[in-house]
């Protein structure tokens, strides 16, 4: 049931006494973890906290990729699993902070630091993990590119170098065919 479909309910909620509204609001917020984190960020944190969040996520990305590089049998399946986990972390940060520029910045950082060359192949009768990885990587890059296009041109300028580096890496690497098939440009 959506509140917009019940205009009478909306009017009655707005007419509630402030104490009653506060109780209802606190009960609703307690049921949604992301909303609780968002309100905490909005009401209790500032710009330095956002920078700390971004730095922590970048540190997690670098640490994860470093551990993967040290792995003896590095394969596409392991990198794909790590990439999906890190992408969830970036998505969660966007839902909490609503910081679009930082979201694009983190995505570019993530993809620029992701391992795309593998020492060994994992063969499965069901999936070719290198193909699955390439498709996921390129589609995620396309999503990042669309988000980049929505930013103000001054903000785009700040991220353009990193994004072009990512596109060049894809174009020169083993994912170039998938990138062309999915319509990823060679540079912006």
Provide the β-strand partners of residue 133.
none
* pLDDT on residue 113: 96
Sign, CA torsion 93/110/177/180: positive
Look at phi and psi of residue 30 and say left if phi exceeds 0, alpha if psi is from -120 to 50, else beta.
alpha
Nearest-angstrom CA–CA distance, 155 and 93: 19
Nearest-angstrom CA–CA distance, 2 and 42: 25
* pLDDT on residue 95: 96
* pLDDT on residue 118: 75
* pLDDT on residue 71: 86
* Selection from 174, 167, 162 nearest residue 119 by Cα: 174
| Domain parsing of the chain, residue ranges | 46-182
pLDDT string in tens for the chain (188-residue length): 677 778 888 888 889 999 998 998 899 889 999 999 999 999 999 889 999 999 999 999 999 999 999 988 888 899 999 999 999 999 999 999 999 999 999 999 999 999 988 765 555 555 788 899 999 999 999 999 999 999 999 999 999 999 999 999 999 988 889 889 989 898 88
SS3 6: coil
* pLDDT on residue 125: 53
């Amino acid at each position: 049931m959506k509140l917009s479909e019940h205009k009478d309910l909306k009017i009655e909620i707005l007419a509630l006494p402030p104490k009653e509204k506060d109780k209802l609001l606190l009960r609703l917020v307690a049921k949604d973890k992301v909303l609780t984190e968002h309100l905490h960020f909005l009401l209790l944190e500032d710009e330095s906290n956002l920078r700390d969040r971004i730095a922590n996520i970048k540190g997690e990305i670098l640490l994860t990729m470093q551990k993967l590089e040290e792995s003896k049998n590095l394969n596409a399946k392991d990198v794909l699993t790590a990439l999906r986990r890190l992408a969830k972390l970036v998505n969660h940060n966007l839902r909490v902070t609503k910081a679009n520029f930082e979201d694009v910045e983190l995505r570019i950082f993530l993809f620029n630091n992701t391992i795309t060359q593998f020492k060994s192949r994992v063969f499965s009768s069901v999936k070719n993990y290198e193909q699955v990885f390439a498709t996921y990587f390129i589609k995620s890059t396309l999503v990042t590119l669309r988000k980049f296009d929505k930013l103000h041109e001054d903000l785009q300028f700040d991220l353009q170098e990193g994004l072009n580096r990512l596109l060049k890496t894809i174009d020169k690497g083993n994912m170039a065919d998938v990138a062309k098939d999915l319509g990823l440009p060679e540079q912006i």
